[in-house]
Amino acid sequence: MAKPLELLEDSPGKKLLLLANEAIARGVLEAGVRLVALYPGTPSSEIGNNLTIMAPKISNFYFEFSTNEKVALEVAGAAAVTGVRSMMVCKGPGLNVAADPFFSLAYIGVRAGMVIVVADDPSMWSSQNENDSRYYALMGNMPLMEPSDPIEAKSMLLEAYNFSEQFELPVLFRTTTRVNHTRAPIEFGPIPARPDKVEFEKEPFRFVPIPSVARVRHRWLLEQIEKAREVSETSPLNFTEGEGDLGIITSGVSYNYVKEALIEMNLSAEVLKLGIIHPLPEKKMVEFLKRHKRVVIVEELEPFLETHARRLAHLEKITVEILGKEQGFFSREGEYSPRIVMEALCKIQDCNTPINWEDIDKRSDAVLDLPPRPPLLCAGCPHRASYYAIRTATRGKAIYPTDIGCYTLSIAPPLETADILFDMGSSITTACGIAEVTDQDVVATIGDGTFFASGLPGIVNAVYNQHRICLVVLDNRTTAMTGHQPHPGTGITGMGKEVPPLDIEEVCKGLGVKYVKTIYPFESIAGLVGEVREMVKWARENHSPA
């Protein structure tokens, strides 16, 4: 992995072996981006981890770890509306958090280039669902680009900013885990100067989408997307290669699997590789469909491209067999691999796979003979003591809503103190719902990072509606699971500046919680158990949060 400060070098032509996330961080410099706001989340975390180290050494540049994804999108969006290039970064589920400003931002547009990097997570290596963020672009009428490797991650990012400014729209830039965490030699380009302060020019009947304005802006947005489609038709980001009776349409990391499969199988096919996923180059796709009797669609997760290909074939009355997920050749879940693509193509072509997978499986299965090592809370982690005390105090009979963080591992034996989880911040609000329909005690747990990201509205709800819930904030003074990034309680900003930390106890008191105590897990386990029992008793007797 490259050192973050190496990414700062203004050395055009130099090459470094970089993760795609590092290549994106370098691309921020080469694109002349003035502001980046993000909330950390794997598989995109390394983008922020590098930028926070680089930021203090970059002139006219601002970087922040925002309190959550909605805030990050609003901060970055406002910068682009003001007139400087900006970026927002999140993981797939994070875009759900930012959905409200996402749709409004498409309507009002931007004055300078803006890119929204969203990292989807097929196979859910570090996520609670397999969001397919391509549908956000379709619903929000926002342009979408998707790189297939680290080299494209940087080069396509630069194109995304030009595209954004050409059509005055943010561009959604979708990556996936396997792209984010793949390395490739990245050639450095020049670093342009960034503007200092700019003047905000007022234009309320564009940037304040009251209904009368929004109706006009929606029409404008649809017109912009159609103009963008014409550019998509001739863009070098959408290209064909190879030749053969068989046609294959693909994008993202699946493109690499297709190339490898064709080489291994010695199979001839014409491949349409799409880099601009919305708006799709429909004329190019129609011509491609007309050239082939059979077209295979290779894409991870949902049948996004497949559905569009079928629609175009139907509208244009093209006689073509479209093969993909609908017939069961490919799955709608999990990551793909060269093997998955190869086996699907063998079924379609009615041929045998050239690789002895049985022998490979035998060698892979040898891992099963090793002693299992499930993920657990780290040795010495204070959460172990906290959960032990919670379970002991309630004799394992309470309901334990949990949240997003490494402490979700309390689901495993012997702690077994995780019963329900929706999303970040849901420990508090699900506790509220459960407490109102059962007589069981409810003890929710949330980490300090998640507390600031999305826990505060739940606390306000619990106080306002007098829910008899118990909340334990597991404060380890960092956003641990995604790489120890700072948050409002740490006293450090994304620029490395020391600021007064927000005190969790005082925040809770300020929101109206009457019972607030701070205890230290390792001081006395017996004392900790007693404190939990007292908290549970108080919440039940006072029918209020504690």
pTM of the model: 0.94
Domains of the chain: 4-233 (3.40.50.970), 239-363 (3.40.50.920), 382-542 (3.40.50.970)
pLDDT in tens, 22-44: 999 999 999 999 999 999 999 99
Q: What angle do CA 66, 70, 76 make, to 5 degrees?
A: 65
Contact in structure between 400 and 417 (CB atoms under 8 Å): yes
Buried b / exposed e along 264-279 (16+ C-beta atoms within 10 A): bbebebbbbbbbbbbb
Find where tokens 């306002």 sit: 464
pLDDT in tens, 296-305: 999 999 999 9
| Closest residue by Cα to residue 117 from 79, 83, 156, 81 | 156
Lowest mean pLDDT among 147-161, 192-206, 244-258, 292-306: 192-206
pLDDT in tens, 95-133: 999 999 999 999 999 999 999 999 999 999 988 899 999
pLDDT in tens, 225-234: 999 999 999 9
pLDDT over 90 at 334, yes or no: yes
The pLDDT, as a whole number, for residue 1 is 63
E-state strands within 146-244: 171-176, 183-187, 239-241
| Closest residue by Cα to residue 274 from 265, 295, 266, 263 | 295
Whole-angstrom Cα distance, residue 34 to residue 193? 10
Name the amino acid, one letter, at 393. A
The pLDDT, as a whole number, for residue 378 is 84
**Could you tell me the pLDDT band of residue 405, with boundaries at 50, 70 and 90?**
confident
pLDDT in tens, 47-89: 999 999 999 999 999 999 999 999 999 999 999 999 999 999 9
Q: What percent of the chain has pLDDT over 70?
A: 100
**Could you tell me the pLDDT band of residue 486, with boundaries at 50, 70 and 90?**
confident
Whole-angstrom Cα distance, residue 295 to residue 309? 9
Strands 114-120 and 171-176: parallel
Tokens of 207: 């940037």
pLDDT over 80 at 481, yes or no: no
| Closest residue by Cα to residue 448 from 401, 405, 415, 399 | 405
Strands 86-91 and 35-38: parallel
pLDDT over 70 at 189, yes or no: yes
What angle do the packed helices 254-265 and 338-349 form, to 10 degrees?
60
The pLDDT, as a whole number, for residue 355 is 86
Q: What SS3 class is residue 120?
A: strand
pLDDT in tens, 488-528: 878 889 888 999 999 999 999 999 999 999 988 888 888 88
* pLDDT (average), residues 435-461: 93
The pLDDT, as a whole number, for residue 220 is 97
pLDDT over 70 at 395, yes or no: yes
CB atoms closer than 10 angstroms to residue 391: 21
**Could you tell me the pLDDT band of residue 196, with boundaries at 50, 70 and 90?**
confident
- Average pLDDT over the chain reads 93
Whole-angstrom Cα distance, residue 83 to residue 36? 14
